[in-house]
Amino acid sequence: MSTVLVARDGALAVVTVNRPDKLNALDHATIAELTATFVALGADVEVRAIVLTGAGEKAFIAGADVLGLSKQGVLDGKANARHGQALTLAIESAPKPVIAAINGFALGGGLEMALACDLRYASPNAKLGQPEVGLGIIPGYGGTQRLPRLIGVGKALELVMTGDPVTAEDALRIGLVNGVFPQAELLASVKTVAQRIVARGRNAVALSKQAIRRGIHLPLAEGLELEADLFGIVSSTDEMREGTRAFLEKRKPNWT
């Protein structure tokens, strides 16, 4: 049985990791299926935004499957890290917004999945952390790289070296999540955020994501050049003509 569920809601796709009896822990097969799912949804023009969540009321994703990790050696340890990193890269590089609805534990690989998403919203019961050092390993699906880029080196070192999780409220305070919604309303509230993005210009959203995602790795001068290049590209679109004309004509844009 598949451990990844995909449900369509108009232009939105909701991806649910479905191993609730294991708190949605990511085994090798689930990671492969998720990667293929994100690549396919990224290429599907009918899908304008993707929401990622976990099955059940307790966990978003409680990490990589510790059973698999317990058996790894040097070579397959590195390969396992690459396998998980390929998933987080597929999420991060999807040419459309990906939003995490963190409905409970987001630990280890679960937090790393959320870090690869563009936006993160949590329910009050969520606990977010990188507990790997307690297992004698380090984060391997991008956590050591994306966490400091998101919340700063000091807080990232604290989370990674203590292994202690933070509450949803603390996650909001340190910028680890964008908002907190009551658990019963989490998915609906996240879909509302996604719909607000979907109502904007599709190319403008995709290119602004690309400008930020690629630009963060560049020196400022090169980042500004990238921004200008992408601004040039977006200026060639019908979308730009319609968006600006609609503003001047005091009406809503009619995107085609």
Interacting residues toward ligand COA by CB under 6 A: 22-23, 25, 62-67, 105, 107-109, 131-132, 135
Q: Number of C-alpha atoms within 13 angstroms, CB side, residue 124?
A: 5
Which residue number, 91 or 111, has a Cβ lying nearer to ligand COA? 111
Q: Are 55 and 91 in contact (CB under 8 A)?
A: no
The catalytic position among 33, 57, 132, 158 is 132
Q: For this structure, is 33 an active site residue?
A: no
Nearest to 94 by CA among 152, 28, 39: 39
Q: For this structure, is 112 an active site residue?
A: yes
DSSP, res 190: H
Which residue number, 11 or 135, has a Cβ lying nearer to ligand COA? 135
Which residue number, 42 or 56, has a Cβ lying nearer to ligand COA? 56
- To ligand COA, the closest distance from the beta carbon of 61 in angstroms equals 8
Q: Cα–Cα distance between 106 and 164 in angstroms, integer?
A: 12
- To ligand COA, the closest distance from the beta carbon of 178 in angstroms equals 23
Q: Cα–Cα distance between 167 and 174 in angstroms, integer?
A: 11
- To ligand COA, the closest distance from the beta carbon of 24 in angstroms equals 8
Which residue number, 11 or 137, has a Cβ lying nearer to ligand COA? 137
* β 12-17/4-9 pair status: antiparallel
Q: Give the residue numbers annotated as catalytic, written as ranges.
A: 112, 132
